[in-house]
Homo-oligomer: A and B are copies of this chain.
Amino acid sequence: MVRYGKEHKAETRRRIIETAGRRFKRDGIDGSGVSTLMKDAGLTNGAFYAHFESKDDLVTTAIADQLKVQAENVVAQAAPGRAGIEQIVRGYLSPQHRDNLGDGCPNAALLDEIGRCTDTTRQAYTDGVLVLIDGIASRMAPEAPSSARVKALGLLGLLAGTLQLARALTDRQLADALLEQGVNNALALLDADQRV
Protein backbone atom coordinates (compact mmCIF):
# COMPACT_ATOMS: atom_id res chain seq x y z
CA MET A 1 0.00 0.00 0.00
CA VAL A 2 1.22 3.46 -0.89
CA ARG A 3 1.67 5.50 2.21
CA TYR A 4 2.28 9.01 1.07
CA GLY A 5 1.27 8.45 -2.52
CA LYS A 6 -1.74 9.37 -4.49
CA GLU A 7 -4.27 8.81 -1.77
CA HIS A 8 -2.90 11.53 0.42
CA LYS A 9 -3.18 14.28 -2.12
CA ALA A 10 -6.50 12.99 -3.39
CA GLU A 11 -7.90 12.98 0.11
CA THR A 12 -6.71 16.50 0.76
CA ARG A 13 -8.25 17.63 -2.49
CA ARG A 14 -11.51 16.00 -1.50
CA ARG A 15 -11.46 17.75 1.85
CA ILE A 16 -10.95 21.12 0.17
CA ILE A 17 -13.84 20.48 -2.20
CA GLU A 18 -16.19 19.49 0.59
CA THR A 19 -15.37 22.30 2.98
CA ALA A 20 -15.44 24.78 0.12
CA GLY A 21 -18.90 23.59 -0.83
CA ARG A 22 -20.15 24.33 2.64
CA ARG A 23 -18.43 27.69 2.78
CA PHE A 24 -19.75 28.77 -0.61
CA LYS A 25 -23.26 27.93 0.48
CA ARG A 26 -22.92 29.88 3.69
CA ASP A 27 -21.04 32.97 2.50
CA GLY A 28 -21.49 32.93 -1.26
CA ILE A 29 -18.87 32.40 -3.94
CA ASP A 30 -17.64 35.97 -4.16
CA GLY A 31 -17.87 36.13 -0.39
CA SER A 32 -15.38 33.30 0.16
CA GLY A 33 -11.67 33.99 -0.23
CA VAL A 34 -9.08 31.38 -1.08
CA SER A 35 -7.23 31.67 2.21
CA THR A 36 -10.46 31.22 4.16
CA LEU A 37 -11.36 28.20 2.08
CA MET A 38 -7.98 26.66 2.78
CA LYS A 39 -8.15 27.43 6.48
CA ASP A 40 -11.46 25.58 6.53
CA ALA A 41 -9.63 22.55 5.19
CA GLY A 42 -6.85 22.94 7.76
CA LEU A 43 -4.31 24.27 5.27
CA THR A 44 -2.72 27.54 4.23
CA ASN A 45 -3.42 29.47 1.09
CA GLY A 46 -0.21 28.59 -0.73
CA ALA A 47 -1.13 24.94 -0.98
CA PHE A 48 -4.25 25.77 -2.90
CA TYR A 49 -2.58 26.01 -6.29
CA ALA A 50 -1.12 22.55 -6.00
CA HIS A 51 -4.69 21.27 -6.15
CA PHE A 52 -6.53 23.71 -8.40
CA GLU A 53 -5.62 25.93 -11.28
CA SER A 54 -7.59 28.85 -9.97
CA LYS A 55 -10.44 29.75 -7.70
CA ASP A 56 -12.76 29.34 -10.65
CA ASP A 57 -11.52 25.79 -11.07
CA LEU A 58 -12.47 25.03 -7.48
CA VAL A 59 -15.84 26.73 -7.87
CA THR A 60 -16.65 24.54 -10.84
CA THR A 61 -15.49 21.41 -9.07
CA ALA A 62 -17.27 22.19 -5.81
CA ILE A 63 -20.58 22.93 -7.50
CA ALA A 64 -20.41 19.68 -9.45
CA ASP A 65 -19.60 17.84 -6.23
CA GLN A 66 -22.45 19.44 -4.32
CA LEU A 67 -24.94 18.43 -6.96
CA LYS A 68 -23.56 14.92 -7.14
CA VAL A 69 -23.91 14.43 -3.40
CA GLN A 70 -27.40 15.85 -3.48
CA ALA A 71 -28.41 13.54 -6.30
CA GLU A 72 -27.04 10.56 -4.41
CA ASN A 73 -28.96 11.53 -1.31
CA VAL A 74 -32.16 11.85 -3.28
CA VAL A 75 -31.71 8.51 -4.94
CA ALA A 76 -30.57 6.77 -1.78
CA GLN A 77 -32.82 8.24 0.86
CA ALA A 78 -36.16 8.92 -0.73
CA ALA A 79 -38.75 6.25 -1.31
CA PRO A 80 -39.62 5.52 -4.91
CA GLY A 81 -42.64 7.01 -6.61
CA ARG A 82 -44.89 9.80 -5.51
CA ALA A 83 -44.36 9.07 -1.80
CA GLY A 84 -40.67 9.76 -2.30
CA ILE A 85 -41.36 13.08 -3.95
CA GLU A 86 -43.62 14.19 -1.16
CA GLN A 87 -40.92 13.23 1.31
CA ILE A 88 -38.37 15.26 -0.63
CA VAL A 89 -40.65 18.29 -0.87
CA ARG A 90 -41.49 18.32 2.82
CA GLY A 91 -37.87 17.98 3.83
CA TYR A 92 -36.81 20.65 1.39
CA LEU A 93 -39.36 23.25 2.42
CA SER A 94 -38.83 22.77 6.14
CA PRO A 95 -37.66 25.33 8.71
CA GLN A 96 -34.66 23.08 9.39
CA HIS A 97 -33.50 23.32 5.80
CA ARG A 98 -34.18 27.05 5.74
CA ASP A 99 -31.99 27.56 8.80
CA ASN A 100 -29.15 25.29 7.71
CA LEU A 101 -27.31 26.89 4.83
CA GLY A 102 -24.16 24.83 5.02
CA ASP A 103 -25.77 21.41 4.74
CA GLY A 104 -28.52 22.54 2.43
CA CYS A 105 -29.30 22.56 -1.24
CA PRO A 106 -26.65 24.22 -3.42
CA ASN A 107 -29.31 25.44 -5.81
CA ALA A 108 -31.14 27.41 -3.16
CA ALA A 109 -27.90 28.81 -1.80
CA LEU A 110 -26.14 29.71 -5.03
CA LEU A 111 -28.47 29.73 -7.99
CA ASP A 112 -28.38 33.40 -8.89
CA GLU A 113 -24.64 33.54 -8.38
CA ILE A 114 -24.19 30.51 -10.61
CA GLY A 115 -26.13 32.34 -13.30
CA ARG A 116 -23.35 34.94 -13.29
CA CYS A 117 -20.48 32.42 -13.45
CA THR A 118 -18.32 31.52 -16.41
CA ASP A 119 -19.65 29.27 -19.13
CA THR A 120 -17.46 26.44 -17.91
CA THR A 121 -18.94 26.62 -14.44
CA ARG A 122 -22.48 26.91 -15.75
CA GLN A 123 -21.88 23.92 -17.98
CA ALA A 124 -20.75 21.87 -14.99
CA TYR A 125 -23.79 23.08 -13.12
CA THR A 126 -26.07 22.08 -15.99
CA ASP A 127 -24.56 18.61 -16.19
CA GLY A 128 -24.82 18.15 -12.45
CA VAL A 129 -28.33 19.40 -12.03
CA LEU A 130 -29.59 17.12 -14.78
CA VAL A 131 -28.42 14.09 -12.84
CA LEU A 132 -30.30 15.35 -9.80
CA ILE A 133 -33.29 16.15 -11.96
CA ASP A 134 -33.42 12.67 -13.42
CA GLY A 135 -33.54 11.26 -9.91
CA ILE A 136 -36.57 13.40 -9.24
CA ALA A 137 -38.14 12.86 -12.65
CA SER A 138 -38.06 9.10 -12.27
CA ARG A 139 -40.35 9.50 -9.27
CA MET A 140 -42.71 11.92 -10.96
CA ALA A 141 -43.43 9.92 -14.07
CA PRO A 142 -42.15 6.35 -13.89
CA GLU A 143 -42.82 5.82 -17.57
CA ALA A 144 -40.41 8.70 -18.11
CA PRO A 145 -41.68 10.77 -21.01
CA SER A 146 -39.29 13.35 -22.33
CA SER A 147 -41.29 16.05 -20.59
CA ALA A 148 -40.62 14.54 -17.17
CA ARG A 149 -37.25 16.23 -17.07
CA VAL A 150 -38.75 19.63 -17.72
CA LYS A 151 -41.43 19.04 -15.11
CA ALA A 152 -38.82 18.09 -12.57
CA LEU A 153 -36.87 21.24 -13.40
CA GLY A 154 -40.04 23.23 -12.83
CA LEU A 155 -40.42 21.62 -9.44
CA LEU A 156 -36.82 22.37 -8.53
CA GLY A 157 -37.31 26.01 -9.51
CA LEU A 158 -40.31 26.23 -7.23
CA LEU A 159 -38.47 24.59 -4.34
CA ALA A 160 -35.31 26.65 -4.62
CA GLY A 161 -37.09 29.96 -5.14
CA THR A 162 -39.47 29.39 -2.25
CA LEU A 163 -36.64 28.46 0.09
CA GLN A 164 -34.58 31.49 -0.93
CA LEU A 165 -37.54 33.74 -0.32
CA ALA A 166 -38.16 32.19 3.09
CA ARG A 167 -34.50 32.79 3.93
CA ALA A 168 -34.57 36.41 2.85
CA LEU A 169 -37.65 37.40 4.87
CA THR A 170 -37.03 38.72 8.37
CA ASP A 171 -40.52 37.79 9.50
CA ARG A 172 -40.14 34.18 10.59
CA GLN A 173 -43.82 33.49 10.96
CA LEU A 174 -44.42 34.69 7.46
CA ALA A 175 -41.50 32.59 6.26
CA ASP A 176 -42.96 29.53 8.00
CA ALA A 177 -46.31 30.14 6.33
CA LEU A 178 -44.57 30.52 2.99
CA LEU A 179 -42.85 27.16 3.41
CA GLU A 180 -46.20 25.49 4.06
CA GLN A 181 -47.66 27.23 1.05
CA GLY A 182 -44.74 25.98 -0.99
CA VAL A 183 -45.42 22.40 0.05
CA ASN A 184 -49.06 22.78 -0.95
CA ASN A 185 -48.05 24.31 -4.26
CA ALA A 186 -45.58 21.55 -5.06
CA LEU A 187 -48.04 18.81 -4.22
CA ALA A 188 -50.80 20.52 -6.16
CA LEU A 189 -48.59 20.57 -9.23
CA LEU A 190 -47.79 16.89 -8.85
CA ASP A 191 -51.47 16.02 -8.57
CA ALA A 192 -52.45 18.27 -11.46
CA ASP A 193 -49.79 16.52 -13.47
CA GLN A 194 -51.14 13.07 -12.73
CA ARG A 195 -54.69 14.05 -13.64
CA VAL A 196 -53.63 14.99 -17.15
Contacts and interface: CB of A to CB of B under 8 A. Distances in A.
B185 A158 contact: yes
A87 interface: no
17 contacts: A28-B112, A28-B116, A31-B116, A110-B112, A111-B112, A111-B165, A111-B168, A119-B170, A123-B170, A125-B168, A126-B169, A126-B171, A150-B181, A153-B165, A157-B166, A158-B161, A161-B162
A156 B165 contact: yes
A49 to B, nearest CB: 23
A151 B181 contact: yes
Nearest to A193: B188
B164 A182 contact: no
B111 A113 contact: no
A114 to B, nearest CB: 5
A165 B113 CA distance: 11
A185 B110 contact: no
Nearest to A180: B150
Most chain B beta-carbon contacts within 10 A, residue among A113, A123, A180: A113
Contacts of A107: 165
**Copies of this chain, count:** 2
Interface string A183-196: 01100110010000
Interface of A: 26-28, 30-31, 107-116, 119, 122-123, 125-126, 129, 149-151, 153-154, 156-171, 174, 177-178, 180-182, 184-185, 188-189, 192
B181 A154 contact: yes
A13 B4 CA distance: 60
B169 A160 contact: no
B174 A150 contact: yes
Contacts of A125: 168-170
A162 B157 contact: yes
A122 B161 contact: no
